[in-house]
Amino acid sequence: MRRSSFSTLLSTLGLLTLPSAGFAADDTKAAPTPAPEVSAIEPLPAAPRPVAPRAPADVAEAPADATRTATGLAWKILRKGTAGAHPGPHDKVTVHYTGWTSAGKTFDSSIPRGEPSTFLLTDVMPGWTEGVQLLVKGEKRRFWIPSALAYGDTPSRPDVPGGALVFNIELVDFVKMPEPVVVPEDVAAAPDDAKKTRSGLAYKILRQGGGKAHPAETDTVEVHYSGWTPDGKLFDSSVTRGKPTRFPLNGVIKGWTEGVQLMAVGDKARFWIPGKLAYGDKPARAGTPAGPLVFDIELLAIQ
């Protein structure tokens, strides 16, 4: 069979595509496919900022089914929480909350901030201190707080509302904190049975720890302590912070340097330190108390 006849046969069967007239088969090139148009990816719209909830319908007055305490605080459970412990009056709590005046004006809320607030129950209004102790984790209540348990009828701070207030409070979490340190009864002056040194330092062993080793002036010690002015004001305490303190004995006030060397590990003592062995009558450091001071010190370790 001749070549032209064979090509004609293949073309007839659909197995051969003949080139267009005037072009050799080898010169035929497919036209390039145009690249698709790429559109810029638009960012998703920002999520709407959370807003504080509107004032409840019963904001003006506690309803008849609200529970009332002896102090005048009223409350109602909005959502039950998990069974568990309640925070104490000195604990650190984490809460979501919104507050309204009795006229329905929102004056504060953690909701728009997007995260709960954390604070000590000793640092808030009495109505909060009492009310939040009633909650367990996950629980949410509404509280009607009389002005006497809030900021009062005429607040001294210009940024807080007067009169009765209403709060929705949800307890997210809480942390147990150490109990407050009790002011000694003899804080004003050393009692007659206290021992006195030549320098004027007075001290009394409150508890013997059974240790025998005493620290030297150049040693570093670990202690728990609380310090008061003679009028009973607590000005510093490692106990309330929940963590002992370490320091070199030659780096503290003279009354400490002398007094702690009289102690053995495990001992707890009270020291009445005259002003000349403390920070002086006119301390150079701002924030340090002047005059005589009283310290309870527990020696935990010598290093």
Catalytic positions, written as ranges: 225, 235-236, 253, 279, 295
Of 110, 262, 90, the residue nearest 178 (C-alpha): 90
Say if CB 88 and CB 29 are below 8 A apart.
Answer: no
List, in sequence order, every residue forming a beta bridge with 119; answer none if it has no partner.
Answer: 93
Q: Is 62 exposed, middle or buried (0-12, 13-18, 19+ CB in 10 A)?
A: buried
DSSP state of 83: S
Q: Report the alpha-carbon angle 267-271-273, nearest 5.
A: 150
Q: d(Cα 121, Cα 91) in Å, to the nearest integer?
A: 6
Decide the pairing of beta strands 220-228 and 234-237. antiparallel
Residue 282 has which token pair? 């006119």
Apex 215 CA angle, 212 and 221, nearest 5: 115
Long-range contacts of 28-35 (CB under 8 A, 24+ apart): none
Strand, coil or helix: what is 29? coil
